[in-house]
Structure 1
Amino acid sequence: MKFDTAYSLSLDDKVSIYDVRDLNFDETTDFDSDKDSFLCPSDACRAAFDATNVLSTFNAKNVNYLRTPHFKNKPGTRHIDGCRYASSQKTANGESDDEREENFPSEFVLTRRQYERKTPTVGTEGGLPQEPPKAPSNQATTSHSNSDSTPDKTSVFAHPVECYVSNIDDKDKLKAMPLKIGEHTATYWAFFKKIEYLQDNKGLIYWGRIKAIKDYTSSFRIDFEKKVWLDKKPYSVNVYLSKKLIENYRKRTAFLEQIKAAASSERPLYCFFYGVTPALKQVPSKKNPEQTFGVFSANIENLDHLIIREAPGVE
């Protein structure tokens, strides 16, 4: 069975698989999911076993992924009778459940979640604990979720994007699931807006197929394939990623790996972003600087709120 929430022994809290991915790539945080232990998110189930009764992760460290990230049971993982996380590996229709994100957060929080690490007991040799790890106490976690189920909120942009992309063939579900960002509440279907319709409303999650990524060595420009029509004229759309933005990004290494690979890729890639709305600007022509032409453009302000990925089936 796959699920996107587990208890992290090192963080002493329940985290989503998207939190784990975020921490793995964060260069300001000393975290490695391969060195952590993830236990059943059910408080009752977790309290019944010691800390060696662990889960495994899937796509926790891949910069790019096609199949939905998740935690899953190992062959030897045990659960108490009645634990919701003890079910089989297959869905009711017999298909693998790795392909679809079923855990829809109802709110995308714009302030990044902060984590308080547990202080391990350090031994005299090799920095290892002096005693084997003990099972965590059956305490309610207050920093993120007090329940065993997936948290209703997320601060990792990849989570709502994955919900949208992996469920794109179920428009009724996307039209039924609510999402709140800041003061704005709508459905997932309404919040995700194709780039060519960006004039319909501001403050949404805009997305579109990438036409090209211009690599200026220390900065980048992402050009979209679709154009925006205004006054019966088509205008190109792009977003710009500045040198300063990239240099100060906490996940700089992973981001550069991803965008440089995307720039040279021949596979269909899509860009999703939140926080800015491209506006019509007049820019000078390279051939004739005295002349200008119109383009819808925006400077990205937060790389945590931008994703480049494959998104099969969205068009």
Structure 2
Amino acid sequence: MKFDTAYSLSLDDKLSIYDVRDLNFDETTDFDSDKDSFLCPNDECRAAFDTSNALSTFNAKNVNYLRTPHFKNKTSTRHIEGCRYTSSHKTATDENDDEREDNFPSEFVLTRRQYERKTPVVSTEGNVPYDPLKVPSNRSSVSHSPNDSTPDKTSVFAHPVECFVSNIDDKDKLKSMPLKIGDHTASYWTFFKKIEYLQDNKGLIYWGKIKEIKDYTSSFRIDFEKKVWLDKKPYSVNVYLSKKLIENYRKRKAFLEQIKAAVDSERALYCFFYGVTPKLQQVPSKRNPEQTFGVFSANIENLDHLIIREAPGVE
């Protein structure tokens, strides 16, 4: 079976798989999920075994993943009787569990979670001592549930986006699941707004199919396929990613790898973003600078709140 949360031995805390992905690509932190050990998030179950009783990670380091990231039991992973993470607890839906995210966070926190690495004390045998009865302290500024269930909150944008995309065929579920961002609470279905309807409401997660990505070497412009209609006229929509924004981004290498691959990709790609609402602007014409034309445009302010990805079935 797959699950979203596990205990990180190196960080002495419970992380979602999206936290792990975020840390893997973060150039400001010394973290590598391949060098960490991830254990059962159930405190009682974890206390019953040593640190070799680890889980595996799926899509923890793949920049452009197609199937939902998750933790998973290895064939050697053991659990105590009654632990809900044992493979014997499989349900009928688990056969296709790689394609769907069922752990919906109820809040997307705009302040990035801070991870405090514990300082390991190495024994004379070269091993890291482990107190099996120790419960993770959850030092994070983003409060996580004290039990072993999936955290109610996340600061990683990919998590709510994956919930929306992988469940796009279940509108009733998306309409019933609540999501809070800042002071605004709505259903997932309401919060995710197609780019052509961006005038309907501000402060939402806008998304749309990418028509083209303009590569200006050190900056990029993402043009959307759908247009916005205003006063019976169609207007193009785009978002701009500045050189300064990209250069200062903590996951710069991973982002450049992703967007450069997207520029040349022949696959259908979609862009999801939060934090800015494109507004109608008058732009000088290249052919005749004295003339202008209207376009809905915005400068992205936080790359943590923008995702370019495949999203099969959304349209």
Which secondary structure state, in structure 1, belongs to the residue aligned with residue 150 of structure 2?
coil
Maintained 8 Å contact 2:49/2:132: no
In structure 2, the gaps of 5 or more residues are none
**Contact 1:9-1:136 at 8 Å conserved across structures:** no
Structure 1 segment 299-310 matched on structure 2, within 5 A: 299-310=299-310
C-alpha deviation, 1:123, in angstroms: 6.9
In the TM superposition, residue 173 of structure 1 has moved relative to its aligned partner by 0.3
| TM-align CA RMSD | 1.4
What is the match of residue 220 of structure 2? 220
Q: Which residue pairs with 1:41 in the alignment?
A: 41
The 8 Å contact of residues 50 and 135 in structure 1, kept in 2 or not, is answered as no
**Within 2, Cα distance between the matches of 1:26 and 1:177?**
30
Structure 1 segment 198-237 matched on structure 2, within 5 A = 198-237=198-237
* Match runs of 1:1-315 below 5 Å: 1-88=1-88, 91-93=91-93, 95-122=95-122, 130-143=126-139, 144-315=144-315
Letter in 1 for 2:163: C
Q: CA 1:59 to 1:93, structure 2 compared with 1: closer, same or farther past 3 Å?
A: closer
1:5 shift after superposition: 0.2
SS in 2 for 1:21: helix
Higher deviation after alignment, 70-79 or 86-95: 86-95
* Same amino acid, percent of matched pairs: 85
- Paired with 1:94 and 1:114, the residues of 2 have a C-alpha distance of 32
Kindly provide the CA deviation profile for residues 78-106 of structure 1, in whole angstroms up to 9, marking residues without a partner as x: 00000000034854157321110000000
What is the number of equivalent residue pairs in this alignment?
Answer: 311
Matched letter for residue 160 of structure 1: P
Instruction: Specify the SS of the correspondent of 2:117.
Output: coil
Q: Distance in 2 between matches of 1:161 and 1:242?
A: 23
In 2 relative to 1, CA 132–203 (structure 1 residues): closer, same or farther, beyond 3 Å?
closer
What is the alpha-carbon distance in structure 2 between the residues aligned to residue 254 and residue 136 of structure 1?
35
| C-alpha separation in 1, matches of 2:80 and 2:90 | 20
Q: Which amino acid aligns with 1:186?
A: A
Pick closer, same or farther for the CA change 1:94–1:239 going to 2, 3 Å: closer
- Asked if the contact 1:51/1:135 (under 8 Å) is kept, the reply is no
Asked if 1 retains the 8 angstrom alpha-carbon contact of 2:121 and 2:129, the reply is: no
**CA separation in 1, counterparts of 2:211 and 2:131?**
51
State the alpha-carbon separation in 1 of the partners of residues 201 and 176 from structure 2. Answer: 20
Query: Structure 2 counterpart of 1:82, which letter?
Result: G
Q: Deviations over 1:132-155 (max 9, x none)?
A: 542543325333331100000000
CA distance in 2, matches of 1:59, 1:219: 28
Contact 1:47 1:136 in 2 (8 A): yes
- Shift in CA distance, 140/257, structure 1 to aligned 2, threshold 3 Å: closer
| TM-score, scaled to structure 1 | 0.96
Cα distance between partner residues in 2 of 1:140 and 1:122: 19
Checking the alignment, whether the CA contact within 8 Å between 1:90 and 1:97 is kept in structure 2 is: no
CA contact (8 A) 1:192 1:205 kept: yes
CA contact (8 A) 1:210 1:222 kept: yes
What is the CA-CA distance between 1:165 and the residue it aligns to?
0.1
Given that residues 214 and 221 in structure 2 are in contact (C-alpha distance below 8 angstroms), is that contact kept between their aligned partners in structure 1? Answer: yes
Rounded to whole Å, the distance in 2 between the matches of 1:261 and 1:310 is: 12
Q: Is the 8 A contact 2:240 2:300 kept in 1?
A: yes
